[in-house]
Structure formats: C-alpha cells, structure tokens
Structure 1
C-alpha cells in the first residue's frame, strides 16, 4: 500500500461517455462486456449469434451469489470509471480511457457481479462501500492491483481503508505491472 500515491480526487468534468466502453476490439461480434462474461463464467455459456449468451453459470463474489442468467449480471469496472477519472484518468486521452473501459488482459479489472451488488457499489471507493466481509481481502487486493496497473491515485480516506483492511489480510503479492 505504501507505493500508492495519495492525491485529492477531482470529479470536475467527468462524464461516463468520456470512456467509450463495451467495444468489440477483436471484431468477433462479442464486445468487452460479453467477453468478460464469457471469461468469468464458472460453467461456460453457449455463445450464439451476435454473441448472445445462454446457459452459463457465474459466481458474483461481491454478494456470494450463483447466477445462471447472464442478463441478471453487470460487468463491473472494479475501479469504477468515475473513480478512475477522479484518480488520474481525467488527464488521459480518449484512447487511454477506452483501453481502461474495455481492458480484458487482467481478470480483476472487469468483474461479473449481480446487477444489484454493482448498483449498490455504484462509483464508490472502499472508504464508502465494500462487498461482504468474507471477500474484502480479495476485493482490496484487486482494487489495489488495478490502481497500481493504471497508475491511479488514492485519496486519504481510501488509503486509510485499504491499509486497515490489508492489515487484517494474509500477505499475498500483488501484480505491479502497468496495464498500458
């Protein structure tokens, strides 16, 4: 946690549309949301025409739920787009923000979770909202990984919460390789 840069967050100028998301970067008819759902499935879904997903099984770790209907899932940007903006993405160009919004190369970046748990989390950071207690160590490890990968800052309250939870978690190395 010591290497996370603390800075004041600034939401000024944020628009969700500043992050072009759910693009089909590889042209296979599956956009980034669908690709994340396929990757996150514990039982692979059937992939139909226009990447329609059927009969898969997913685990929503935010709320410990098994889901068998892809339409009941959201694909969450673990570090929300608004939080990324507040933490440094406001200085990125459009291509960097699009890359962030559709990043599929690290499993912690886009997470399939129940729509309900994603909407409860909204754009809050760990100082304001955490998933169920049994997965908090996992969650803050992934949060910290995404922040490091994208060189995003944390605010003071966020850093304090991450540090407090990390002190209760077993030591596990976190990737530090930049995403971009």
Structure 2
C-alpha cells in the first residue's frame, strides 16, 4: 500500500507495510528485565502534589528550567531528542536546534513532517515522579531526572497534550503496538530512580509488558 501525501497535511498514517514502531531510548530494559524490575518496585499510594510546580517564571520550578544542556555540548535535551528520534534532520544554520525532519510517531503510528507539531514527552510524567519519590530529592537530582534521555520520546504534540500527567492506568498510547515499548521505558525510569508504583499503575504496566510476548498482527 502506498502512502499518499496530501498538501498541507502534517500527520500521515503509516502504510500496512511499514514496520511497527518499536523505537526505545538507549538504556531501556528488555521485557524480561522490566518485568523483574517492576515486581521489585515498592508499591505505595501516590503522594501529594504539594510543592510541585513547573512555573519557572516565578522561580518555583522544582525540576529546573526545561531542556537543560546536561552534558555541556551546547545542545539542549529537546534538540538532542529531536535529532535522535527524527529522520532527515536539518539543523538551524550554525546552531544545534532542529528546524525540520520526519517523525514516525510511536504513540499514534502516524508520520509527522512538521517539527512544530512535535513535542517531547516525559514517559514517566514529572508530576508522577514528584508523587512517587522525587519530592524528597535534592534539586540537582530532579534536574538530572527531568532531562534523562531514557525518559524522553519525541511524539505528536496533540497526543502528548492529551496524556498530560496521566499514569499508565489512566492513559496508554493510542497505538496499541507500542504498549510493550512504552511499558519498558516507563519501568526503566521508575526502577532507575527507585520510585514507588501505585497498585493500579503496576497492574497496567504488567498488562503492557504482557504484550511483549504477543506477535504483531499481520
């Protein structure tokens, strides 16, 4: 089946012959290790959001200024993720920022050709990090976690907005073929930072990881 490009469209359904999108960041646990790691996470009801803020204009952003250049190479984390996840990347002249490229969006299974339609998702939302342990961290650890490339994925901005701060029991990618990968990324981050997991969240992640054993539909 051919993909038909329509002038002015920024999201194009992938054809049935396109391989399933299963891209995960480097360092993501494999399915078996993710299951073991999930079972080892402490189970606890989510904490309160008291003190949580992303508003840096007031100086109260508890996870630091968005898209910090963690390795000092002059390229912030947003630009690094775009360059990692997009193809046919063109950077701004003399700068690190990405001005164009194509994303095979794992959350929707569509192809996005406009960078303005793309956002970077924290797979484990920062609000959820706060509720499950990060409220007690030092500011430097929160900045590092907010910019951890293992937790950052380029996706459709519209879908990212619909997700918000929801956990897997409340929201999963519309592209069901990505459930396994999404669960693996989520558990990788929770385990790396020794965050707690709520009972319903854990059950949803177990269901997501169970799909890793299911062959894709033909």
TM-score, structure 1 normalization: 0.85
- 1:153 aligned residue (193, 196, 209): 196
1:164 is displaced (CA, Å) by 2.6
Which stretch has the larger CA shift, 162-171 or 11-20? 162-171
Specify every segment of 5 or more residues in structure 1 that has no aligned partner in the other structure, as ranges.
Answer: 172-180
- 2:146 aligned residue (78, 96, 101): 101
- 1:15 aligned residue (53, 76, 101): 53
1:71 is displaced (CA, Å) by 1.8
- 1:110 aligned residue (133, 152, 155): 152
Question: RMSD of the TM alignment (CA)?
Answer: 1.8
1:64 aligns with 2:109: yes
1:50 is displaced (CA, Å) by 4.0
TM-score, structure 2 normalization: 0.71
Q: Equivalents in 2 of 1:99, 1:138: separation in Å?
A: 23
Specify every segment of 5 or more residues in structure 2 that has no aligned partner in the other structure, as ranges.
Answer: 1-37, 55-60
Kindly tell me: are residues 26 and 166 of structure 1, through their superposed partners in 2, closer, same or farther at Cα, counting changes over 3 Å?
A: closer
Q: Equivalents in 2 of 1:165, 1:76: separation in Å?
A: 18
Aligned length: 168
Q: In structure 2, what is the equivalent of residue 178 of structure 1?
A: none
- 1:121 aligned residue (144, 147, 163): 163
